[in-house]
Amino acid sequence: MDTFSTKSLALQAQKKLLSKMASKTMVNVFIDDTSSEILDELYRATKEYTRNRKEAQKIIKNLVKIVMKLGVLYRNGQFSAEELLLMERFRKKVHTLAMTAVSFHQIDFTFDRRVMSSVLTECRDLLHQAVNTHLTAKSHSRINHVFNHFADYEFLSALYGPAEPYRSHLKRICEGVNKMLEEGNI
């Protein structure tokens, strides 16, 4: 039996094309201004922390690729009912993460890196479960790369610490996240 499918081929082509187009210009086509500003601040904070421009670019590029691939899979109805439930749990966990991140920023002396790291790790694990059969091992390693970086205790401590420029980056990240929460986009 021939297992050729044009729908499957088109989906693979979309995912491959998106993986090649994760540049700043293309991000602006697919991602709104607020999300783009948050990504820019995450890049700046990551670049400051790692002291490595290429590594910071790679982390944000991987994040963009993940988001775009999730969009392609969702829009093309590729998720089973069970995977859709996992994606809904993931969405709710990301909402909790956003609320927690903003709360930790707004209320002095409440930041707990273990809580933030734990929620990020839970998000990563839910995402792996939901996309397990849809993405390649390379895409799964991108998920790990992104979430492991942002869940790192030392990175979180630097980001939420009192020192500049992290404080300014966090302020702008949380302003953007708060705006997205108010608009119902997270």
Query: Mean pLDDT of successive 10-residue segments in the chain (186 residues)?
Result: 58 63 53 88 96 96 91 90 96 97 94 97 97 94 98 98 95 96 90
Q: Is residue 4 part of a domain?
A: no
Burial of 130 from C-beta contacts in 10 A (0-12 / 13-18 / 19+): buried
Q: Is residue 170 part of a domain?
A: yes
CA atoms within a 13 Å half-sphere pointing along the CA-CB vector of 62: 19
Q: What is the pLDDT of residue 33?
A: 86
Q: Is residue 1 part of a domain?
A: no
Q: What is the pLDDT of residue 68?
A: 87
Q: Is residue 3 part of a domain?
A: no
Q: What is the pLDDT of residue 28?
A: 52
Domain span at 90 = 9-182
Query: Distance between CA 60 and CA 52 in Å, rounded?
Result: 13
Q: Is residue 125 part of a domain?
A: yes
Q: What is the pLDDT of residue 172?
A: 97
Q: Is residue 19 part of a domain?
A: yes
Q: Report residue 129 as tokens.
A: 């479960």
Query: Distance between CA 8 and CA 145 in Å, rounded?
Result: 27
Q: Is residue 2 part of a domain?
A: no
Q: Report residue 169 as tokens.
A: 């980056």
Query: Distance between CA 81 and CA 96 in Å, rounded?
Result: 23
Q: Is residue 104 part of a domain?
A: yes
Domain count of the chain? 1
CATH number for 116: 1.20.1440.160
Q: What is the pLDDT of residue 2?
A: 52
- Full-model pTM: 0.84
Q: What is the pLDDT of residue 166?
A: 95
Q: What is the pLDDT of residue 6?
A: 56
